[in-house]
Amino acid sequence: MASSNDENNSYDFEASIQISRILKILSDTIKNTEIIMCLPLILTNEGAILKRFFPEDQINFIQETCKKVSTTHTSSDVDDSALICEICLMVDLVLSVPELGDFCRTKLTDSLSPGGVTLLRNLEELRVCVSERLRITPKMEAQQDAELRQLYQQNIRNREEVERLTEKLNKLVTETEQEIEGKKQLIKSQIEKITKIRKQCRDSVKKKMDDAERQISWDVKNSEYRLEELQTGAKNAQYRREVQLKEHIHSERDLRAKRYKVESQLVAVLQKYDTDIGERHAQLEEMTASYEEEKEQMALLQQQFDEQETEYVSLMLEKEHYERQQWEAKLYDIRCRIAARKIQRYFRAYLAATRAKGKKGKKGKKKK
């Protein structure tokens, strides 16, 4: 297994080397072809471009060789083998300068004829195609064949599936057409019903229009009668309006007289108010002055009170302390009296008990 892997690796390495060589040859061929196709452009202007890259003797050699090539079409005296040798030398000389190749690719390639451009493009496509083809190993090609076979089998299965689905689709189409035919019959019956209903509606509308015309005629007559009544009512209302207008004019005169009387009374009241308000204002000023005076006195008294408050507080504290001492002394005296009374009571009880006990002892001795 290891030996087979080594053989495969060595084969792949050698194949990659050979592929690189072939691709390099193709690339060099394309570059050289491009330079040779640019040679007519290089020779223009008496070899001005050649003077940049070659000395004078080489330029003369290139120009003479090109002239010989151009004369071979018209003359048969030229030795073909010698001419071919000179052409090969000229080509080698032109291709030996890399700068000339770069100059041709950058400056002169765009000026080539359409046929030359097509040739170069085809050569480049050939190089790409050969590169892609050479990079496919036999193993990869076998894998591709296997994949193609699988795709072919899959295609066959897909065709069978398509046929089956087509048959199913045809069946569905037939069923759908039958269903559509049934729908058409239903639509036809519905259209007949609609036609019948439309006729009924037309008759009903005609009947309603006749009824409406009769109703309109009756309404017109009724409106004319009501119009006469309204005109009579309008005349009566106009008469009542004139009567009320006279009454309102008379009442307006009375109201104007009352208004004049009220305005006179109001003027008198306002005059009296002005007099009273003047007196009240004078009284207010006097009261304000007295208030300010009392306010100043109050501030003075408050200041004196604040000054005496400290002394008052200290005196009250002393009084409170004195009263507390007096109270505590009285309380102590009361407690002492209560305690003395309790002691006297207990002592009297003790004496009474002792005396009673002594009397009992004496009585016992007498009995014996």
As a whole number, the mean pLDDT across the chain is 78
Among 8-12, 30-34, 269-273, 340-344, which stretch is predicted with the lowest mean pLDDT? 8-12
Structure tokens at 328: 């505590």
Name the pTM for this structure. 0.33
127 by Cβ neighbours in 10 Å (0-12 / 13-18 / 19+) ranks as middle
Q: What's the CA gap between 302 and 304, in Å, rounded?
A: 5
CA distance 100 to 106: 10
pLDDT for the residue 177: 86
What is 65-125 written as a DSSP string?
HHHHHHHTTT-S-S-HHHHHHHHHHHHHHHHT-HHHHHHIIIIIGGGS-HHHHHHHHHHHH
Q: What is the DSSP letter of 368?
A: -
Q: Is the Cβ–Cβ distance between 62 and 93 less than 8 Å? A: yes
* CA angle, residues 65, 39, 89, in degrees to nearest 5: 40
> Has residue 8 got a pLDDT over 70?
no
Token duo for residue 184:
């058409």
pLDDT grade for 2, boundaries at 50, 70 and 90: very low
| Distance from C-alpha of 148 to C-alpha of 150, rounded to nearest angstrom | 5
Tell me what pLDDT residue 363 has: 57
- The answer to whether the beta carbons of residues 34 and 77 sit under 8 Å apart is no
Residue 1 scores a pLDDT above 50: no
pLDDT digits (tens, 9 = 90+) for 190-216: 888 888 888 888 888 888 888 888 888
In whole angstroms, what is the distance from residue 79 CA to residue 85 CA?
A: 10
Q: What percent of the chain has pLDDT over 70?
A: 84
Least confident of 131-145, 155-169, 312-326, 347-361: 131-145
- As a whole-number percent, the residues of the chain with pLDDT over 90 amount to 0
- Name 12's Cβ contacts closer than 8 Å, sequence gap at least 6: 137
DSSP state of 60: H
The predicted pLDDT at position 74 comes to 53
Closest alpha carbon to 101 in 53, 47, 44, 48: 53
Q: For residue 77, what pLDDT is reported?
A: 52
Q: Tens digits of per-residue pLDDT, 305-360?
A: 777 777 777 788 888 888 888 888 888 888 888 888 888 888 888 888 888 877 76
Residue 239 and residue 176: Cα distance in Å, rounded?
86
